[in-house]
Each structure stands twice: as C-alpha cells, then as structure tokens.
Amino acid sequence: MIHSVQSNRSVLAAIGLAFVLTIGLLAPPVAAQQSSDAALPRVLVLGTGGTIAGQANARAGNAYDSGKVTAAGLIAAIPDMDKLARISAEQISSIGSQDMNDKVWFDLVKRIRAAVDNKEIDGVVITHGTDTMEETAFFLSNVLDTDIPIVLVGSMRPSTAVGADGPANLYEAMRVASAPESRGRGVLVVLNDIIHGARFVQKTNTTSVDTFRSPNAGPVGYVDTGSLRYLEPAATAKGPKYKLPDAPPLPRVDIVYSHANMDAAEVEDAVKRGAKGIVLAGVGDGNSSKGAIDALAAAAKQGVVVVRSSRVGSGYVNRNVEVEDDKLGFAVALDLNPQKARVLLELLIANGITDPKAVQQAYGQ
Ligand SMILES: NC(=O)C[C@H](N)C(=O)O
C-alpha cells in the first residue's frame, strides 16, 4: 500500500518535472516573460537556487536536489506574470542556500547596484533557498542603499512536488516587488502570503510552508487576494550602510553554540582557527558556562570581537544582566539571532569597527 502511494507520488512528481522542464528549459535564458507594456514596472529577477528551483531525485520518495531550474524557467511556468511587470531574469548561482557564501553575496550586490545606478529597474526579486534566506536578506539590507523593493522568495517544496508552493510565492513576490507601496521598506522576504522585514525574519520550522516568522516584531504586511496590506507606512529613516571590500571574503566570524556541560574548548578552537570575531549562541539571555565566558574574555583581551546572542529564537539579549559585559569588553546582539549577529559582525570588522562601545552602538542599545 505504502509502495503504491509512493509510486503514485513519483508519477505525479514526474509529470510536474516534465512540466517545469518543458516550459522552463525552453524559456529564453534572460528575458523570462517579456511584456511590451511600457506602463508596467521593470523587475529584475536574480536566481540563486534553493528548493524553489529544486527537482525530485529518485534516491527517495521525498528527495530532491536544490537549484536545478533557472529563475527564467520558474517564471515562464507561471501564467500571467507578464501582466504584473516587465521581467528580466538572470542566474547568479544555482546552489542550495546551505552553500550560500560571500561570493554570491558580493555578486548580488554588484548586479543590484549596477541596475539601480543605470536606472534599469523598479524592483528586484531574488529566488533563494530558505535555509539561509534570512542571512542574505539581512546582509543586503546592511549594504544596499536604495528605495526600490528588494524581495527574497523561496519555497519549502521543490518545483516538481505535488502542491509546490514556489509558483504562488514567486507570483506574490513579483506583486510585492512591482508595487509602488513597497518602496522604502528595505529588503523584504515573501513566503506563504506574508511579507517580513530583513531584520526580524527567521526560519522557524524545518519543513512547514508556514516557516517564516518575525518573533520579535511581527510581519510588515500580507499579500492579500486583491491588495498588499502593509501594517505600517514605509519608513523614511535608513540604518547605516556598510562598505564592502573590493572582493570576498569578509573577515572570519565564528558562532560558538552554548550548551550544558560546556568548557572553554569551543571558544579556544575558534580563536585558534583565526576568528576575528566570535558570536556566542548563548543559552537563555546569551549566557554560557564560566569556562566559556572566561575563554571569551581572554579572546576579547587578544582583540577578538565578542558578541553575545542567544540560541533561544526570540527575545532580546540584554547587557550586564548575568554577564559583566562592560568589564569583559563584550557587546550584545539584542534581537539579532546568532546567524544575523554573525553577518553584522563580519561587516563591522570589515569596516574597522571593533571597539566594543562602537560595536554595541551598531547592534543597538
Ligand atoms: N526550502 C529550502 O529552500 C531549503 C534548501 N535546503 C535551501 O535552502 O536551499
């Protein structure tokens, strides 16, 4: 019985795959769906890979490989996208976002800056895996200085799955990126009818299509049937934008994960590996064992920048509660989870900001 359910699934997945391949791979590589309506906004789609571009793999019933279909192919398979915008699509990478790296980040920034400077576009959609989407969104929000909407989108089911969520998510991302009311809202993440801001969004479930949440702030809006429903007016104030070095990599920042029965070894290993900064994924309010805190204090004395965050997943990490941050020369990440705190610390160190007080100011007070 189970066997026949799986083979039915395989047949349906094969039909889906054939659909995507037939429509997707026949699509031109750059112009995804060309509309000649000059009144429509121009949206640049940059493909990076992810499950949204995933294809079923025969190794198991639910197995797939990320990043197999191009962004142009994904767009071509969705009817009526050309009624929303004049769309062009380019492929920056074809990877699962577990492999996301500085090079792809630098390439995205370069392409978006060029398109903005040349006034080529009114919006950007980035197709991306969900595993590290929040990190890429947060990175871009800290380096790009533009009012145009930059929207990251992905899916939890591959493009060949029964009930694939990618097409609906991509269509919604296109609605968001092409809408004038999305301007001035920074970098956004769209999945499952919800619009999140780059600072607060987090992946919270390993497999559910309703995985993205903004636990410390709530979403910034919803993609409703007829309208985009933003909960607040667009912000005019912009955060600081950090400079990028001419080429990757960014300075090495490691995350040390705190746990019961912890000693100094993980912190010492990070220092030995040459980390210029360490983010503590602390227990509770960013705490750790005496051994780990002493090792962090020794690292800070040697010039390693130390930021305390939390493994908990929501809430703020506060200064000087159970750890003497002032005395030990630490900063705290406030609402930023360890993976986002790591991105910011890479940028701070790259910009020469290493003094604990200046580092704390960058995270917030
Ligand atoms: N749902 C996904 O996109 C997961 C995939 N591993 C990725 O991040 O590329």
Are the CB atoms for 296 and 330 separated by under 8 Å? yes
Q: How far apart are CA 342 and CA 309, in angstroms?
A: 9
Buried b (16+ CB within 10 A) or exposed e, 142-177: bbbebebbbbbbbbbbbbbbeebbbbbbbbbbbbbb
* Atom of ligand 1 lying closest to residue 211 CA: 1
* Confidence (pLDDT) at 33: 58
Buried b (16+ CB within 10 A) or exposed e, 239-263: eeebebeeeeebbebbbbebeeebe
Residue 98, C-beta contacts closer than 8 angstroms, at least 6 positions apart: 129, 131, 132
Three-point CA angle 30, 187, 76, nearest 5°: 25
Q: Does residue 51 carry a catalytic annotation?
A: yes
Beta-bridge partners for 221:
195, 230
Residue 50 in contact with ligand 1 by CB distance below 6 A = yes
10 Å Cβ neighbour count for 218?
13
Q: Does residue 236 carry a catalytic annotation?
A: no
Residue ranges of domains in the chain, CATH in brackets: 6-230 (3.40.50.1170), 253-363 (3.40.50.40)
Is pLDDT larger for residue 55 or for residue 331? 331
- Residues 220-229 have pLDDT tens digits of 999 999 999 9
Q: For residue 133, report the distance from its CA to the centre of ligand 1, in Å.
A: 9
* Phi, psi dihedral angles at 34 (to 5 degrees): -90, 120
pTM of the model: 0.91
Q: How far apart are CA 189 and CA 127, in angstroms?
A: 10
Cα torsion for 84, 86, 91, 97, to the nearest 10°?
Answer: -20
- Model confidence at 315: pLDDT above 50: yes
* Confidence (pLDDT) at 56: 81
* Confidence (pLDDT) at 236: 63
H runs (alpha helix) in 273-355: 290-301, 325-328, 338-350
* Confidence (pLDDT) at 4: 34
Question: Which two tokens mark 21?
Answer: 């391949």
- Residues 169-181 have pLDDT tens digits of 999 999 999 999 9
Beta-bridge partners for 17:
none
- Residues 232-250 have pLDDT tens digits of 999 865 778 999 999 999 9
Residue 131 in contact with ligand 1 by CB distance below 6 A = yes
Residue 47 in contact with ligand 1 by CB distance below 6 A = no
- Residues 136-169 have pLDDT tens digits of 999 999 999 999 999 999 999 998 889 999 999 9
- Residues 56-99 have pLDDT tens digits of 887 777 888 888 899 999 999 999 999 999 999 999 999 999 99
Residue 226, C-beta contacts closer than 8 angstroms, at least 6 positions apart: none
Question: Which two tokens mark 20?
Answer: 């995507």
Mean pLDDT score, 13-35: 44
Q: For residue 328, report the distance from its CA to the centre of ligand 1, in Å.
A: 38
H or E element in which residue 9 lies: helix 2-26
Residue 130 in contact with ligand 1 by CB distance below 6 A = yes
Percent of the chain with pLDDT over 70: 90
Candidate from 48, 100, 104, 131 with most ligand 1 atoms within 8 A of CB, to mutate: 131
Residue 154 in contact with ligand 1 by CB distance below 6 A = yes
Q: How far apart are CA 33 and CA 83, in angstroms?
A: 9
* Confidence (pLDDT) at 93: 97
Candidate from 57, 95, 98, 191 with most ligand 1 atoms within 8 A of CB, to mutate: 98
Mean pLDDT score, 291-300: 98
Q: For residue 139, report the distance from its CA to the centre of ligand 1, in Å.
A: 18
Return the DSSP state at 234.
Answer: P
Which residue type does 110 have?
Answer: K
Return mean pLDDT, the chain: 91
Residue 54 in contact with ligand 1 by CB distance below 6 A = no
* Confidence (pLDDT) at 244: 98
Q: How far apart are CA 23 and CA 77, in angstroms?
A: 6
Active-site entry in 48, 70, 127, 130: 130
Residue 96 in contact with ligand 1 by CB distance below 6 A = yes
Q: How far apart are CA 360 and CA 142, in angstroms?
A: 16
